[in-house]
Amino acid sequence: MKFLDQAKIYVRSGDGGDGVIAFRREKYIEFGGPDGGNGGRGGDIIFRAVPALNTLIDFRYTQHFRARKGGNGAGSDRTGAAASNVIIDVPVGTQIFDEHRDVMLADLDEAGKEILLCHGGDGGKGNAHYKTSTNRAPRRADKGWPGEERWVWLRLKLIADIGLVGLPNAGKSTLLSVASRARPKIADYPFTTLHPQLGVVRLNSTEEFVIADIPGLIEGASEGAGLGDRFLGHVERCASLVHLIDGTESQIVKHWRLIRKELEAYDQNLASKPEIIVLNKCDALTSEQKSSKKRALMKASGSEVITLSGATQEGLPELLRLLQDRVNLAKKQL
């Protein structure tokens, strides 16, 4: 399935049904009178978050959604039928913006959450509604009220507890593959990850968390270099960030600072999230090299640094335990 995290669609609720002018005329019945019924209500446009979806690709092929008009009224005081609502299913984590992407209209961040975006028009009144003691035979009926229409932008921000960030080929996809059942593409060239990947990490029968891998960042990503920083939105909801650094590189401190710069340029709130620095690919380092590079990162960042080998899984159980503890703490604070 292809991944799409932004889409522009058109939605329109249904018009209300028309009221009618009708009079009761029956043989051998002395008193007649107006009996035109009201129109039915038009259908609403409702967005609903469902857990079975993880991409907006369906909206590339279907971009217009219209609810039906309510039924017209009829004689014998019969009200027109209300039109069915149109329910648009979107992935959990979808945000709805106005046409100019200035105002967020809804944030569907929980499964089953719904938002009524466009109200259907009310039905028009039939002439029976206007009967009074002084106006016994009104010849007035109203048209149904029009529905609402608008263009909206959908933006998906994946729901994950932990986000993986780092330069291309830092080993993020390898970590995701060994920590969960996700099977991302892994290769020895940059940008093998072209769109975000999710994996569920289960430590035991009662503890689990969701980890997200996004395409690697490079210098100038905030200005559009490489794949840019547009996928950083998918880790905005995470409790913690795991910053993976390739231990086989010579300028690991420079690389750490580069990613930190790009995070800060994107969003200060994202940059301020708790960060776990992981020195990866330690199976290719000697003990002296590993200790030296770990000390350099600790000095530059002022934080603890965890060593890891995604290939041999050395240090993996300890890292996953730490991540689960971070997730548990974040949930308690909600």
For residue 219, how many other CB atoms are within 10 A of its CB? 15
pLDDT confidence bin for 183, thresholds 50/70/90: low
> Is the per-residue pLDDT at 207 higher than 90?
no
> Is the per-residue pLDDT at 193 higher than 80?
no
- The predicted structure's pLDDT at residue 43: 96
Binding-site residue set: 166-173, 191-195, 213-216, 280-283, 309-311
pLDDT confidence bin for 162, thresholds 50/70/90: confident
Please, what is the average pLDDT of the chain? Answer: 85
Enumerate the domain spans of the chain: 6-156, 162-332
Q: CA-CA distance, 248 to 188, in Å (whole number)?
A: 13
- The predicted structure's pLDDT at residue 1: 46
In sequence order, which residues have a C-beta less than 8 Å from that of residue 162 and are 6 or more positions away?
Answer: 209, 210, 211, 212, 238, 239, 240, 241, 242, 323, 326, 327
Topology given in CATH for the domain delimited by 6-156: Spo0b-associated Gtp-binding Protein; Chain: A, (2.70.210)
Segment 24-45, tens digit of pLDDT = 877 776 677 899 999 999 999 9
Hey, do 6-156 and 162-332 end up sharing a CATH topology, with the first three levels equal? no
Binding-site residue set for Mg(2+): 173, 193
pLDDT confidence bin for 329, thresholds 50/70/90: confident
Q: CA-CA distance, 49 to 94, in Å (whole number)?
A: 7
Segment 291-306, tens digit of pLDDT = 899 899 899 888 888 8
> Is the per-residue pLDDT at 280 higher than 80?
yes
- The predicted structure's pLDDT at residue 74: 92
Q: CA-CA distance, 115 to 92, in Å (whole number)?
A: 13
Binding-site residue set for GTP: 166-173, 191-195, 213-216, 280-283, 309-311
CATH class of 162-332: alpha beta
